[in-house]
Chains A and B, each alone.
Chain A
Amino acid sequence: MEAHEWMINYTRQTEWIDRRGIWLWIAFYAGGLGGGLYLVSLFFNSLEGMFISWLIIAVIKGGAHLVYLGKPLRFWRIVTRPQSSWLARGILFVLGFILFGAIQLALSFWMPGGAAEVVFKVLAGAAALAVTVYTGFVLNTVKAVPFWNSTLLPVLFVLCGVLGGFGLSVVIALSGGSINLDIAEAGSRWLLIINALLIAVYLWAAANRAPTGKQSVLEQMRGGLALFFWGGIVVLGIIIPLLIGFFGQFAGNGASALLITGVACEIIGGLALRYCVLKAGAYKPLVARSA
């Protein structure tokens, strides 16, 4: 007699994280980070930030998506069903951002101050927000994975992306870019606190949603993902950047190297968060094991 684990126990999804699925993890995170940085750069009106965010989305996110596809040459087909598929919508948002962002960057560089620049900033900003949020919807529409079945997930991904954006804006400010370092640091600090609270609420809600959701949470806190959760998300992603941030607040501007370390930790934390969300996503048993 053969009892397959995937039918009587909860089973992890593997397609979107194991083996080549690692590219999707990179694509998802790059979308959040790039979109977040663009929104933060709009706030600071930083052309450098906008350009870097455009590169992150167009090159890293776009490239990672292409590498992941089984048939990359058919890539253009992926936008043909936006009426029902969040993946199709997401790629349209990405293409929209690449187009509007490129026009806006060109206008801001060669013809700044015009009405057209403002229009394309609005369009690219809306597309950047959509790029940041859509991955959350891609996951939360999967009914069979209780850990993802939460309206908090898109919010979490947006805030995580904007947090990464504030982090990169600190680096741009330290490199002499047109960004106010104090405001960028303060933004990072507040978003770190909000993100930490949101992660806690998200995990609590997931643990109470279904037994499989609870298993996903336990897998992160005590199971095979504990190192990524506690080490990556909690320590590197939240505690160390917060300590560095508060050190900067109370003791004047921290050393550049320390601030950059904090930003690197934030980015590792963001990557770890996406990794844990994808890796811990598990299906309900197909047929429950009887008592």
Chain B
Amino acid sequence: MRWGMVVDLSKCVRCYACIAACRIEHFLPEGMNWPRLMALETGGDKPAVATYSLRCNQCQDAPCVEVCPTGATYQRPDGIIAIDQDKCVGCRYCVIACPYQNRTFLSKDKAKGFFPESGPTPYEEAGNKLYKHQVGTTEKCNFCAERIDAGLAKGLKPGIDRDATPACVNTCPAQALTFGDLDDPDSEVSKLIRENDGFQLHPEYGTDPSVFFIDKKIGQTNKKTNKTKKDDKSRRATAGSVAEK
């Protein structure tokens, strides 16, 4: 079993709902964002806007796991890269080693609170009890591992049942995010990757990310003419993998 995500670049409408859902789900401190959204123009002759919804790639050969000197960062059997906050010493080697810059060190200035002058809000107080963030340690997206675990314990299927699926996937109004088991060839994510030439960011690092990107517009136009296929190849080539060859 290997949990993975597919981001459809053609569907994302840049509404930031995934980021908001994550913030609420994990009671993220003011200065902390686990997923991030980036939009940029792509394509030469036919400019278009691609929006990359980014988060920890849960790499199968994760540099952060390798460099962590304490074992605080580890890989679960289901492929998710998790952090044991009680073991993290805050050396930030994982922040440096992540080629995708998806880790954030929680410093004091990032955890001042939303209204520091008037103390923590009820929301923050609830967060401190339910999902404690430790200043001086590193954080990142964990694919809502706690939702997955709780859902599996109830016999639910992540990616299909909402209670076992990451919050960002549930909340995406454009259904640009799909979650599922990459090891299952019949899962929705596997089909999407297979049928739409899914690609990973910077595969040349050999990290084997579990987050794939597809662009259904490209997939559709590929079937029409060779010319558009060529255009699409050059467009996809901008997406990291050949960025610096």
Contact = CB atoms under 8 A, between A and B. Distances in A.
Interface in B44-69: 44, 49, 52, 54, 63, 65-69
Contacts of B37: 2
A144 B205 contact: yes
Q: How large is the interface on B (under 10, 10 to 19, 20 to 34, 35 or more residues)?
A: 35 or more
A153 to B, nearest CB: 14
B80 to A, nearest CB: 19
Contacts of B66: 84-85
Interface in A184-224: 210-212
Interface in A138-179: 138, 141-146
B244 A86 contact: no
B112 interface: no
Interface stretch (B91-99, B116-124, B181-189): B91-99
Interface in B93-145: 93, 95-101, 105-107, 134-138
Interface stretch (A32-40, A75-83, A106-114, A116-124): A75-83
Q: Is the interface of B mostly helix, strand, loop or mixed?
A: loop
B239 interface: yes
A283 B243 contact: no
A287 B201 contact: yes
Given A78-B91, A212-B244, A71 B136 contact: yes
B101 A11 contact: yes
Interface residues of A, number: 48
B91 A69 contact: yes
Interface string A243-282: 0000000000000000000000000000000000000000
A78 B70 contact: yes
Contacts of B91: 68-70, 78, 87
Contacts of A144: 63, 97-100, 202, 205
Contacts of B97: 141-144
10 contacts: A15-B92, A70-B136, A80-B71, A81-B71, A143-B63, A283-B101, A287-B201, A287-B243, A288-B243, A290-B238
Interface of A: 1-4, 6-8, 11, 13, 15-16, 68-72, 74-75, 77-81, 84-88, 91, 138, 141-146, 210-212, 283-291
